Structure 1
């Protein structure tokens, strides 16, 4: 195996969210395999996450202060506005200055270096940098359909065709991007974040949800589903782990639905395995996903999952009817029915939980690292 210089370039080094968790998991794995890793963020995050102690690789944040956001340009008057034009020039000059820092890092790398751009926004700086002699991999950590509904879609079409490889999380999503003109697209699943020695006994009447309290995660829909399920299954509690900008509105919704007695707001947790071991079911109600780490973590802890079938990555991870249950996206009544099915049937929970713990091991880190090594070697040819 060739030892390489590998750069991860993200929006932020320590932004709260799954991409950051994935980046640092892969950075550790590559470091353990003898590579020289550097994690780079464009700017400081609004909400940081605790990365836990000293990291075995360096990190760099390019901007000392956040780059100024540009207002949308509307019509001829907007294009001719001298103040707006000055802001555009100043921001472009600032981007070139920060890209020069990236160029210096990349030029100092050994032959065969790899630049892994984990998020679309970060790619706007990488395309300005000198990447000669390095392989550039541009990643998307969400499904094609979810990206299609966001401002990231035109930026992917603009910035990713020149990358040596665009990498998404499932074969199904790769096929969709290829169909829409990005024939440099491949796919790579996320690795299993952990494999706890002690699985959940699935004896507590507890359903867990984990994720940021934002619109994407669909906690509002989960509360609607729980309002149907909870009265039929007295004694069960929904524990919601996470924080975010929608928390206040979600708590009001919970109260309005009369759910305060059966919903516990747990905040962020630094003990994900412990929280999952105290759960008998896991639920994910997202409007959009990529290849959700939370599902993999729950399954590794032998907790069966119920989720909206909102992305190819979700149905790749959960084998519906074997190790978990899927509901049509956004259908809260069906999500409630599937939750109730498992809440009412202990033998079914146990059977699916044990199957989940076995099946999810197809994503063990050693297998995913092997696939990355094959990709690096292929791109170097």
Structure 2
């Protein structure tokens, strides 16, 4: 009886032979149809919001569909842009169904951050969908999806891997597969120049194109902030990476100096109970508030005088740009990739050495104590945020897609 590895090798060889036959009959590259693979389109978070934002822009001139691997909430948290359709491959609103959902994915690296979402059922659904495409563009939005389109998409398809985190943040097995398989992609897009340099250095076999295109800032409701209320705001998923535990420790020092100020933390996540306990242990119950999900980010920022990002790591933190666009001055940890490519220290925000509690407290306190500094940074920040408007970033995507369409097969090889 053949071993699973042998079966897999035979299947791969069969697919490769079929793709060679498909390639001989393949039409010229076509970008009219764009399909964006997303883990959970009905969830909440920065990646989902920015994918919806990009899809809405592309839908002006393309047939755009977001393909959600799973559906765990009945309706999308964010508004689906006009002209964009959403397709779901595995509906889990009433729980995981079928025996195949009991088995873990065989196509997703076990240490990929979202590996627990993927099952044998999603493997088969994704393979069926990807292999069924005969034209257009497939865009992946996380390593598991980028790796799958690199391995399974037919030769007619323009395959784009979009990196929403950064290479260094991925676990060993995921990085190993990235370095082995990303060279099969038509293109890889990073959010930051730092991550682009990391991929250029690490990939021995590169995709047809390596490029950096940042996410566009979402246009938020409401006017710019007045910055008159004694309120600081942090927005982000309540997990270890976002560093809210560090922020609470820093706020204990801020509270001693400025007891009239309050900190509002918007978001949900697995560390909510631990953060709540930390707030109580430090006697900050009346000063730090866990607000839950921000139903209206524009309104939340509109009531703030300071925005804080305390992340241990980032891809490209959209909350910084959103705060800047609302004229809220930002204090951010200078964590690997992201903040330093957006903020010029002392010009349109403040950067703090990563993980330094007292330095973060001092930077926040400096803005609290100096309204003129808040105004100066906020004014420059709006100019910076304008560079990330969809009119600017969307034009870069439009040109990028045209270039991919017009490249010859020889240009895209290897």
TM-score, length-scaled by structure 2: 0.80
CA distance in 1, matches of 2:125, 2:292: 39
Aligned to 2:142: 119
Aligned to 2:115: none
1:82-161 pair list within 5 angstroms: 95-104=123-132, 106-107=133-134, 109=135, 113-147=136-170, 149=171, 152-161=174-183
CA distance in 2, matches of 1:68, 1:158: 28
Aligned to 2:293: 268
Say if 2:373 is the partner of 1:348: yes
Aligned to 1:334: 359
Compared CA separation, residues 337 and 97, structure 1 to 2 (3 A): closer
Tell me the alpha carbon deviations over residues 82-129 of structure 1, each in whole angstroms, 9 at most, x when there is no partner: xxxxxxxxx66862453122322x22x4xxx22111111223442453
Compared CA separation, residues 151 and 329, structure 1 to 2 (3 A): farther
CA distance in 2, matches of 1:24, 1:94: 22
Tell me the alpha carbon deviations over residues 170-212 of structure 1, each in whole angstroms, 9 at most, x when there is no partner: 1221111111125333211111111656211110110001111
The secondary structure found in structure 2 opposite 1:167 is strand
CA distance in 1, matches of 2:85, 2:50: 16
Aligned to 1:254: 279
The secondary structure found in structure 2 opposite 1:43 is strand
Match of 1:325 among 350, 365, 380: 350
CA distance in 2, matches of 1:63, 1:254: 38
Compared CA separation, residues 53 and 119, structure 1 to 2 (3 A): closer
Deviation at 1:233, TM superposition (A): 1.0
Tell me the alpha carbon deviations over residues 249-277 of structure 1, each in whole angstroms, 9 at most, x when there is no partner: 11001100111121122111211111111
Say if 2:88 is the partner of 1:61: yes
Match of 1:170 among 189, 192, 195: 192
CA distance in 2, matches of 1:69, 1:93: 8
Compared CA separation, residues 94 and 71, structure 1 to 2 (3 A): closer
Say if 2:44 is the partner of 1:22: no
CA contact (8 A) 1:15 1:47 kept: no
Say if 2:53 is the partner of 1:36: no
Deviation at 1:245, TM superposition (A): 1.4
CA contact (8 A) 2:215 2:393 kept: yes
Deviation at 1:7, TM superposition (A): 0.8
CA distance in 2, matches of 1:238, 1:362: 29
Compared CA separation, residues 160 and 241, structure 1 to 2 (3 A): same
Aligned to 1:8: 36
Moved more, 9-18 or 254-263: 9-18
Tell me the alpha carbon deviations over residues 283-334 of structure 1, each in whole angstroms, 9 at most, x when there is no partner: 0111111111111110000001001111322111111111110111111111
Deviation at 1:51, TM superposition (A): 2.3
Deviation at 1:154, TM superposition (A): 2.5
Tell me the alpha carbon deviations over residues 212-239 of structure 1, each in whole angstroms, 9 at most, x when there is no partner: 1111111111101101111101200001
CA contact (8 A) 1:144 1:176 kept: yes
CA contact (8 A) 2:105 2:122 kept: no
Aligned pair count reads 355
The secondary structure found in structure 1 opposite 2:338 is helix
Aligned to 2:389: 364
Deviation at 1:140, TM superposition (A): 1.1
Unaligned runs of 5+ in 1: 73-90
Compared CA separation, residues 231 and 46, structure 1 to 2 (3 A): farther
CA contact (8 A) 2:335 2:354 kept: yes
Deviation at 1:70, TM superposition (A): 3.5
TM-score, length-scaled by structure 1: 0.87
Unaligned runs of 5+ in 2: 1-29, 107-118, 408-414
Tell me the alpha carbon deviations over residues 142-186 of structure 1, each in whole angstroms, 9 at most, x when there is no partner: 133323x56532232233221011111112211111111253332
CA distance in 2, matches of 1:266, 1:63: 31
Deviation at 1:49, TM superposition (A): 5.3
